[in-house]
Amino acid sequence: MKNKQILIAGGSGLVGTYLSQLLSEAGHSVRWLSRSVGGKPYPTFKWDIDRQSIDEAAFKDIQVIINLAGAGIADKKWTSARKKMLIESRTKSSALLDKYIQKLGIRPQIYISAGGIGYYGDRGSNWMDESALPGNGFLSQCCVQWEEAVHQVSGDFPKAILRIGVVLSSKGGALEKMLLPLRFHTNTYFGNGKQYMSWIHIEDLGRIFQFFIESPTSGIFNAVADHPLENKTFVQEVAKGLGKNPILLPAPEIALRLAMGEMADVVLESTRADNKKIKNLGFEFKYQNVSDAVSNLFVK
């Protein structure tokens, strides 16, 4: 595959850091957009989402634009101000990139945006493919506005949105928090434990981005592994992957609501996402079982 010039917004996060390394090792030239430019591992250009400005040099000879920007959904409680920030950090970043795509007459080979399976909301055991209507609640509202902002990006070139599930990584994210109780030989499931979790190994997620860079395609795609699991089964499989057999304890919904407020939706909503659309393009997942994925990440 020919070397490509790739611009990543939000490159310093969990997914962006992994993806940048993966693409660099594949021979691509990666550059970042960031609020600060010093001390970064890749050529970095300043952008300011609030002021809607970008250093135009970032776009020189660019062939691929990837937007991963967005404040962490579960980093802080969902106050009204926080909700506004969560939405605007996503919608304004898309609007800003669109502004410069139009201003500079840029026509990348593909524009890829992160999205989230939170789009579907709490849907029980029903399988959700990309044609499903959005759910209710803040997560769905956030994802809908996020995607609408991507649809507003101008230009006659492929645009792909990846609705990403729970990313399994040894470098942080949701899995890191789930592993904390194992230090005390316990493990915790949330609520009644029957809510489905759609997940993906970070290596497969990185490979999906590579796949779209190699074969630019427009559309919305669920970026999740084949087998979503109920939360209780999921945490059991995590322990199995680590070779552990902890005591399994519930975190009751009422306690989660008291501690987290509305943000408890992140761990209590059930989304069973289907990945057939992306597999029909020819993408093959490497990790299909949670225990195998966790073992790969942590057992050397």
What is the distance between the alpha carbons of residues 197 and 166, in angstroms, rounded to a whole number? 7
pLDDT number for residue 1: 56
pLDDT number for residue 92: 97
pLDDT number for residue 300: 61
Cα Dmax for the chain:
59
pLDDT number for residue 253: 96
pLDDT number for residue 175: 87
Domain boundaries, the chain: 5-298
User: Could you list the mean pLDDT of each consecutive 10-residue stretch along the chain, which spans 300 residues?
Assistant: 91 96 97 93 96 97 98 94 97 98 97 98 98 97 98 96 97 87 88 98 98 97 98 95 92 95 96 98 97 90
pLDDT number for residue 56: 98
pLDDT number for residue 176: 84
What is the distance between the alpha carbons of residues 287 and 290, in angstroms, rounded to a whole number? 8
The whole model's pTM is what? 0.96
Contact 225, 288 (CB under 8 A): yes
Residues 6+ positions from 217 with CB-CB distance below 8 Å: 110, 158, 160, 281
pLDDT number for residue 177: 84
CATH, domain range 5-298: 3.40.50.720
pLDDT number for residue 17: 97
In a 13 Å sphere around the CA of 135, the CA atoms on its Cβ side amount to 23
